[in-house]
Amino acid sequence: MNFGTRDHLDEKNGHLTIGGADVIDLTQEYGTPLYVIDEGRIRSNYRRFAAAFPDADIYYAAKANGNLAVLRVLAQEGAGADVFSDGELYAALLAGILPDRILFNGNSKTDAELRMACETGVRVSVDSLEELKNLSRIASEDNKEVEIAFRVNPDVSPATHPKIATGLAQSKFGIPHDKVLACYEEALSLEGVRPVGIHCHIGSQILELSPFAEMMIRMMDLVEGLKNKLKLELDFVDIGSGLGIPYTGTAPTPIDLANTVLPIFFERASALGIRPKLVLEPGRYIVGDTSLLLCTVNTVKEAYSTFVGVDAGFNLLLRPTMYDSYHEVIVANKLDKTSDHTYTIAGPICESGDILARDRRLPRVEKGDLIAVLDTGAYGFAMSSQYNGRTRASEVLVNEGEAELIRARESYGDLLMGQNIPPRLL
Ligand SMILES: *Cc1c(COP(=O)(O)O)cnc(C)c1O
């Protein structure tokens, strides 16, 4: 079996292993559906990314996988965090990520979220002029001064799925790049806010390098404008992330990304005589390939296709349905068998879009077999739901062959949590 760049996966006695643990043993102990995350792989991905950008700060994008144990591992590695909500901020702080290494993002933050940012002392990426004024008012009421960046819409178009392109002119994120200087000018005149950075993020699962170069040039044009027109020297330039991973085929590496953006960044900064910090916000690259979703085969049906019905669907892995994304699948208990059949892997949800993988060559599949869906660490569990009355799966963290439960399987009580029947209906 060829696992590509996934050094944490292997085969033993015809079984798939992750981080040295046999997945059949894991499902016997924890049941299915089950998310399995390899801790060593999170650490090595983080270190590989950080090593490519030795002078930069790395803010992990918490939305990719917000499990507390994952955040804790990354806090130990020295990561900061990019958070997009009050809940993500709460979890990042609880996991031990320092407030001065957290950037609070979002295109529609509530007043309560802005107040929480002021109170916890994190920086805020401001998405509009109206939000700027609102934050200034809230911070001033609290006698605080918040360090801010503006989220820029750089208008570059990465070749990725339209639902995950965030830097197009028509995108809901950020301030059009030609209006950004006016926002800084306004910020300099307001109390309670201090502009110290600039921020953008052009999309996700980007497999080409040229959009990153285009973005870096545009960001440095703005940095130059701020220095020359407003005499404002920024402390940091945050270029987000979006580096894709090889779900299939190949992908650029963090080194490729560094070779693309760093020369532009350093040349332009030194021409201006400034030394801002570069910040990056990888999510998918850090956690994407670290995890498997394990599911059990309930039925095999000959119909238009040969459908393999498993116990996990878009309730636990939305990406194939939402983004038409490709995930490798493996019959985890039959790695020593020849792939001589074609199957479509279907989830149990009452929607015809609930297909995990189409027309895959696999060994003969029977009821009771274990299907492993690969590369489910980013935007997997994080996007899960209880749709169709399905409890969410448990998650285990594997460390050098040993597994620990980091999220318990939900109960019927969890499904109904917070609901009540008004007494008049009793
Ligand atoms: C989602 C997001 C990221 C992470 O993107 P990846 O493609 O997972 O690396 C970084 N920054 C911001 C602002 C985001 O919204």
Strand pairing category for 80-83 and 102-104: parallel
Which residue puts its alpha carbon closest to atom 1 of ligand 1? 61
Beta bridge partners of 147: 194
User: Tokens for 357?
Assistant: 């993988």
206 Cα nearest atom in ligand 1: 7
Strand pairing category for 146-153 and 175-176: parallel
In this predicted structure, what is the pLDDT of residue 158?
A: 74
Distance from the alpha carbon of residue 198 to the mean position of ligand 1, in angstroms: 15
In this predicted structure, what is the pLDDT of residue 171?
A: 87
Distance from the alpha carbon of residue 61 to the mean position of ligand 1, in angstroms: 5
CA distance 66 to 49: 19
Any alpha helices (H) in 236-307, and if so which ranges? 254-272, 284-287
Name every residue whose Cβ is closer than 8 Å to that of residue 25 and which is 6 or more positions away in sequence.
Answer: none
User: Tokens for 67?
Assistant: 């499990």
Which residue puts its alpha carbon closest to atom 2 of ligand 1? 61
Q: Report residues whose beta carbon is within 6 angstroms of any ligand 1 atom.
A: 61, 63-64, 82, 105, 201, 204, 240-243, 281-285, 378
In this predicted structure, what is the pLDDT of residue 167?
A: 67
**Residue to probe by mutation, ligand 1, list 49, 70, 152, 241, most atoms within 8 Å of CB:** 241
Side chain identity, residue 55: D
First to last CA, the chain: 59
For every residue of 155-193, DSSP letters joined together read ----SS-GGGB--STT-SSSEEGGGHHHHHHHHHHSSSE
CA distance 357 to 346: 7
In this predicted structure, what is the pLDDT of residue 164?
A: 64
Any alpha helices (H) in 175-253, and if so which ranges? 180-189, 210-230
CA distance 327 to 92: 28
In this predicted structure, what is the pLDDT of residue 162?
A: 66
CA distance 243 to 240: 9
352-404 pLDDT, tens digit per residue, is 999 999 999 999 999 999 999 999 999 999 999 999 999 999 999 999 999 99
Clarify whether 183 is annotated catalytic.
Answer: no
Distance from the alpha carbon of residue 231 to the mean position of ligand 1, in angstroms: 30
**Residue to probe by mutation, ligand 1, list 201, 243, 278, 376, most atoms within 8 Å of CB:** 201
52-74 pLDDT, tens digit per residue, is 999 999 999 999 999 999 999 99
The pLDDT averaged over each successive group of 10 residues in the chain (426 residues) is 93 98 98 98 98 98 98 98 98 98 97 98 97 98 96 84 70 93 98 98 95 97 98 98 95 98 98 98 98 98 97 98 96 98 98 97 98 98 98 98 98 97 96
218-264 pLDDT, tens digit per residue, is 999 999 999 999 999 999 999 999 999 999 999 999 999 999 999 99
**Phi/psi at 308 (nearest 5 deg)?**
-100, 115
8 Å CB contact between 364 and 287: no
CA distance 278 to 238: 6
Tell me which of 118, 183, 295, 350 is the catalytic residue: 350
Distance from the alpha carbon of residue 409 to the mean position of ligand 1, in angstroms: 27
Which residue puts its alpha carbon closest to atom 15 of ligand 1? 201
Side chain identity, residue 328: E
User: How many residues are there in the chain?
Assistant: 426
CA distance 44 to 3: 17
Distance from the alpha carbon of residue 285 to the mean position of ligand 1, in angstroms: 10
In this predicted structure, what is the pLDDT of residue 168?
A: 73
Any alpha helices (H) in 333-381, and if so which ranges? none
In this predicted structure, what is the pLDDT of residue 1?
A: 78
Which residue puts its alpha carbon closest to atom 11 of ligand 1? 240
